Structure 1
Amino acid sequence: MELSQSYWFVGASWDNEDQTPRFVAEGIWENGYDDKYSDVVNSVKPGDLIAIKAAYTRKSGVGFNTRGHTVSTMAIKVTGKVVKNHKDGKRLDVAWQTPFSEPKEWYFYTHMRTIWHLRPGEWMTDALIAFTFENKPQDIDKFRNAPFWRDRFGDIAEEDIRFKWTAFYEALASALLAYQNDRQPLVAFANQLAEKYQLSYLQGKDLDDIDPFTFIGIFNRNQTVDNRRAIANDIAVFLGVKESAPTTFEAIPLLNNQKSLFFWGKETGRGEHDIDNLWQLFNAALLLADDSPDKGIETFIGTYDKVTNHKGIRWNITMGLFWCRPWFFPTLETQSMEYLGSLSCKPDCTGPKRTCTGDEYLTLRSNLLIRFSEDTFPVHSFPELSLMAFSRDNKVMPKRSNAWKTVVLERIRDLCLRKQSADFTRKEFQDNYLAELAEMFPDNNTPDMSIDRTTQGLRDDGILEFVSAGQYRWLEYDEDLLDNEISEPLLTKQAETYDISNIQREGCFIDVATLESMLRTLRDKKNLILQGAPGTGKTWLAKRLALALIGEKLPERIKAVQFHPNMSYEDFIRGWRPSENGQLTLTDGPFLDWINLALKYPANKYVLVIEEINRGNPAQIFGEMLTLLEADKRTPEEALQLTYSREAELVHIPANLYVIGTMNIADRSLALVDLAFRRRFAFINLVPLYGDVWFDWVRSNKAINDGILHVIRQQMVRLNNAIAEDSSLGEQFQIGHSFFTPAKGQDIKDAKQWYLQTIQSEIAPLLLEYWYDSPQTAKEHIAVLMGAV
């Protein structure tokens, strides 16, 4: 398969009716939505390969032991090639092959959305493409034993299987769904459990209704393991669940005993439809996880957003979703959020009460799945993430003496950035964060007083200013705004696809196989240096390889910097810089900015292009980041403290950030590159290319006559041979084709004059520098070049 090829996996179901037969008969594919995917559809190109798929789950009949777990499955119904894009966001003309008599089933690596755009380059992607379009079998064993699926489906001895409790929780949730429209038996049974186990939070409360999350929460509160197991067994008998209740409850988050209900009483703030909404979310969650992801996304998002507006609902709802389907949904209670912060994977939080919206929650889920697939990532599933969050040393209640200062300052920052103002009041802060801090520090009986003491301490430290009674000003607000200007630009339309064919059309004279090898090396090594003589197109190619890696024409995901002898660690990574008020402040450099952006958007690829990378001192400029550049150290577990570090901060380079450097090997003033630095990069040599590809491209794109082009090729081959044979120079000093490849937008009206001008202004000074100890030699070569036309 070619790295430059694009592949599309698309749905074909509208209103529960399969459109595949019609699409095949009419030679088309249509987008069934009026308000979604139009820009994506418009980006499909003629020649792209396409397949109609349907996503669902299975528990049996898959040819391997599922151990009772659901397996994400994708049926491939028919494949074809795109013939025409009507650019209306709706319709493609497709040359379909004969549909498969029985859909081909693919397992594990599937996709929730209606349209899935794939490019080769990763092993899972390559395997799916080969299965779909080349009729190659899926290596089931490789997928079963990949990190994300190994605990459920891998070749693990029975005694070594972790998270066995998940089967019980999933079965219990499935059985509970039958009570959505007849909840009184659940209410009666919950009251029985309250009396039997003396559950004071339910006793005497005149419970008249109950939601599924509260019901499951009856045995997921802070109580003895024996009590939890006993209650779970009673519930299993009541619901007819055959799975054994857990003997251990590792990795399972617990409700706060003081807040064990997901709804309030009718007199204390419960909305008329709150419990109905909770059941709808429960139903939508199971539909999304178990049935047809293509259909369930919008329903889930809508009900999730409705529920998070309820009184008493915050991150606890994600805990409930995790209980129901722990392999599908992440839990975002306090411990897990703290751990996600250490992994630089926290969600965006634009929902009510500083929570995430349903879309942001699913986006976080998708981002985590991407990270889980990285071998070097410290966790590979949602149960494992929860386990690590609960077992790590620095849990939610840090034992550091400055714990309150850290968490209060984080929330001051959040409040001010949301208000877009440095000023805030004591009441505003407590209204927004008092309940959260009380939950974080349950042993503290006076969290309001602790907040007041902490703000006084921050005032003494010069971080806050006391404005008037109950009013404060955050003095670092303007600096933090600058730190947060780096963000993913919002795209108003789908970007144009970009691949190796684009590079060649734009004037690259390297063959496709070599370009694909370069791109593959960049994917695998993550750090690449293009080195070559002057004029071999190093920077030009670096930026286009970056676009081909990204797969779309998104120059905003490429940052270019240039090293020079005065470049320092403080310029590139982080250092103290004067602010507008004259004080020194820690300022992030371009590399750290790009790291933070890549961490925030793991589904995107970002590239840093460093021009003239050997013109500075790379090992000194990168500092401790030199270690983190290695492909196998792109993980939070390898994170290091920076030379200039903020409190409790560890930094790692994510796997979706790539570095391309350019190196001029003909500059005598540059020292050899440090070997430790060299070991972290793959090196590719670029050479002058005056062959037929160059000749034809310049002639057709710039209308330069054959006569001048023959002269250029003949003279530059002669000159480069002389340079290569000179013992004081060598091949690294040869003159590249860029000097004689007119730039985009450059109109050549007089080819002869253009040639002579290039010799006089660009080639002649270079030759005089080359033969500085023999100027006569340089002049002789210049004379031959000038006299050739």
Structure 2
Amino acid sequence: MDALLHNETTKGIIPSSNILLYGVPGCGKSHMVANKYESKVKEEYTIRVVFHPDYTYSDFVGQIMPVLEKVENKDGIEEEKLQYKFIPGPFTRILQLAETYKDQQCLLIIEELNRGNAPAIFGEIFQLLDRNDDGKSKYSIYNRDISMALYDEPNKPIELPPNLTIVATMNTSDQNVFTMDTAFQRRWQMEHIPNRFTGESLDEKTINHVTKHLPNSEISWGAFAQTVNKKMQTANLGFGGTEDKSLGVYFATDNDLDDAERFAEKVLKYLWDDAFKLGRKELFNDCSQGLSAVIEAYEDAKGDPLKAVLVPEVYNEMQKKMAEMAAEQAQTAEEKTSEEEAAESAAEDNPAQKPAGEE
């Protein structure tokens, strides 16, 4: 790496803490990670890992593995021999970076934290997550392999340094593969990512995505998703919480919304197989022939395909939501225009004085 790069201090550019972003699938957690944290840290000081059911402590921290290395024999001749060495995992590697480049902010990103058995994956590292105000661990642990990898000393205590940020994402708790106890969760700074389809806080990309019409339909993605999510909350679907099954604003991509087959196979199939599995008649107007018939009816519809497969009441609600969203958008545009006109009027009433010496 460029030596000049190491002289540019970035320590403290983001908080040195453990941050856990959570929300419904597709609400924008990874987008938030990229914009708020990853974009501010140099790529070479960032490590990303994804937890899953088979992910283990050894995968995360590191493990002893056989490697071929060149060693000198008794005659002084180099030859390859099988050696057993500690191979650092993502956690140890980010500590190595933070220890080597103390003036650089380092970032460990853990996607899908609750898709793996997080307490088991962290093991004794769990103790390090308690931090002081400067980001340094309150308590240290002893781990010979990590100590040797970091300091080349077997008994030096390990702690999280003040230039390391850990950011993790997880879906809301209703549909976890693994649950996380309170003792583990309290060591994270929890940040809920709202599933917003409307409001002034939306950026232009999200606004365009939300207002995009579904394939061959007069209904927009925003009106569809909000109506379906509301239906989940009011219908008796046989389970307690519905938030984790809600459609996130980016549950469907722009490409999904451009293609009827992709939309049906991704969104309609999900609603049939999962979200409305115990209450399909609340959403679909004909459940007698199964999912394949619903998808075929959607793809082969002559008019609006949603009208062909959804309960009329639900489709009507989507039309009402379209009108509400249009009215809200018009009001927001009007308010923005009024603010701009007021600003222009104020500028005219208080013209800037010319700099001294100008006529």
Shorter-chain TM-score: which interval?
0.5 to 0.7
- Return the match for 2:276 from 758, 766, 771: 771
Match of 1:561 in 2: 49
Match of 1:542 in 2: 33
Partners of 1:530 and 1:661 within 8 A in 2:
yes
The question of 1:786 aligning with 2:290 is answered no
Q: Deviations over 1:393-447 (max 9, x none)?
A: xxxxxxxxxxxxxxxxxxxxxxxxxxxxxxxxxxxxxxxxxxxxxxxxxxxxxxx
Partner of 2:92, secondary structure, is helix
Match of 2:59 in 1: 571
Q: Deviations over 1:82-113 (max 9, x none)?
A: xxxxxxxxxxxxxxxxxxxxxxxxxxxxxxxx
| Distance across 2 between alignment mates of 1:492 and 1:627 | 36
Partners of 2:174 and 2:244 within 8 A in 1:
no
Match of 1:676 in 2: 183
| Distance across 1 between alignment mates of 2:27 and 2:218 | 17
| Distance across 2 between alignment mates of 1:570 and 1:721 | 43
Alignment of 1:186-225 (within 5 A): none
**CA gap 1:596/1:688 in 2 versus in 1, 3 angstroms:** same
- Return the match for 1:732 from 244, 247, 252: 244
* Cα drift, residue 679 of structure 1: 1.1
* Cα drift, residue 780 of structure 1: 4.3
The question of 1:686 aligning with 2:174 is answered no
AA aligned to 2:228 is: L
Partners of 1:666 and 1:733 within 8 A in 2:
no
**CA gap 1:630/1:761 in 2 versus in 1, 3 angstroms:** same
| Distance across 1 between alignment mates of 2:305 and 2:229 | 12
| Distance across 2 between alignment mates of 1:537 and 1:650 | 38
Match of 1:697 in 2: 205
| Distance across 1 between alignment mates of 2:65 and 2:207 | 51
| Distance across 2 between alignment mates of 1:574 and 1:534 | 30
* Cα drift, residue 660 of structure 1: 0.9
Partner of 1:587, secondary structure, is strand
Aligned length: 266
Partner of 1:691, secondary structure, is coil
Q: Deviations over 1:606-656 (max 9, x none)?
A: 111101101111111112211112222954884321164642332211011
The question of 1:523 aligning with 2:15 is answered yes
**CA gap 1:618/1:735 in 2 versus in 1, 3 angstroms:** same
Partners of 2:26 and 2:249 within 8 A in 1:
yes
**CA gap 1:585/1:773 in 2 versus in 1, 3 angstroms:** same
Q: Deviations over 1:514-555 (max 9, x none)?
A: xxxxx99x726x1111111111111221122213554xxx33
**CA gap 1:669/1:682 in 2 versus in 1, 3 angstroms:** closer
Partners of 1:723 and 1:734 within 8 A in 2:
yes
| Distance across 2 between alignment mates of 1:582 and 1:608 | 32
AA aligned to 1:678 is: Q
| Distance across 1 between alignment mates of 2:306 and 2:145 | 56
The question of 1:760 aligning with 2:264 is answered yes
**CA gap 1:557/1:769 in 2 versus in 1, 3 angstroms:** same
- Return the match for 1:639 from 135, 140, 144: 140
- Return the match for 2:157 from 650, 654, 670: 650
Match of 1:607 in 2: 107
* Cα drift, residue 681 of structure 1: 0.3
Partners of 1:688 and 1:734 within 8 A in 2:
no
* Cα drift, residue 597 of structure 1: 0.7
Match of 1:402 in 2: none
Match of 1:459 in 2: none
Q: Deviations over 1:725-768 (max 9, x none)?
A: 345242232111113453xxxxx6xx9x6163453132123212
Question: TM-score with structure 1 length normalisation?
Answer: 0.30
**CA gap 1:549/1:629 in 2 versus in 1, 3 angstroms:** farther
| Distance across 1 between alignment mates of 2:88 and 2:188 | 24
Pairwise CA RMSD? 3.9
**CA gap 1:673/1:614 in 2 versus in 1, 3 angstroms:** same
Partner of 2:126, secondary structure, is helix
Q: Deviations over 1:166-188 (max 9, x none)?
A: xxxxxxxxxxxxxxxxxxxxxxx
Alignment of 1:71-110 (within 5 A): none
* Cα drift, residue 677 of structure 1: 1.2
AA aligned to 1:610 is: I
* Cα drift, residue 711 of structure 1: 2.1
Partners of 1:577 and 1:584 within 8 A in 2:
yes
| Distance across 2 between alignment mates of 1:718 and 1:705 | 14
The question of 1:714 aligning with 2:223 is answered yes
**CA gap 1:777/1:648 in 2 versus in 1, 3 angstroms:** same
**CA gap 1:536/1:704 in 2 versus in 1, 3 angstroms:** closer
| Distance across 2 between alignment mates of 1:685 and 1:594 | 26
| Distance across 1 between alignment mates of 2:104 and 2:171 | 30
Which consecutive residues of structure 1, in runs of 5 or more, have no partner in the other structure? 1-488, 499-518, 743-747
AA aligned to 1:730 is: T
Alignment of 1:226-625 (within 5 A): 489-490=1-2, 523=15, 526-547=17-38, 549-550=40-41, 554-580=42-68, 581-625=81-125
| Distance across 2 between alignment mates of 1:678 and 1:636 | 16
Partner of 1:529, secondary structure, is strand
Alignment of 1:45-194 (within 5 A): none
**CA gap 1:635/1:669 in 2 versus in 1, 3 angstroms:** closer
AA aligned to 2:90 is: P
| Distance across 2 between alignment mates of 1:549 and 1:615 | 27
Partner of 1:623, secondary structure, is helix
Partner of 2:223, secondary structure, is helix
Q: Deviations over 1:29-69 (max 9, x none)?
A: xxxxxxxxxxxxxxxxxxxxxxxxxxxxxxxxxxxxxxxxx
Q: Deviations over 1:280-322 (max 9, x none)?
A: xxxxxxxxxxxxxxxxxxxxxxxxxxxxxxxxxxxxxxxxxxx
Match of 1:160 in 2: none
Partners of 2:210 and 2:221 within 8 A in 1:
no
| Distance across 2 between alignment mates of 1:541 and 1:708 | 30
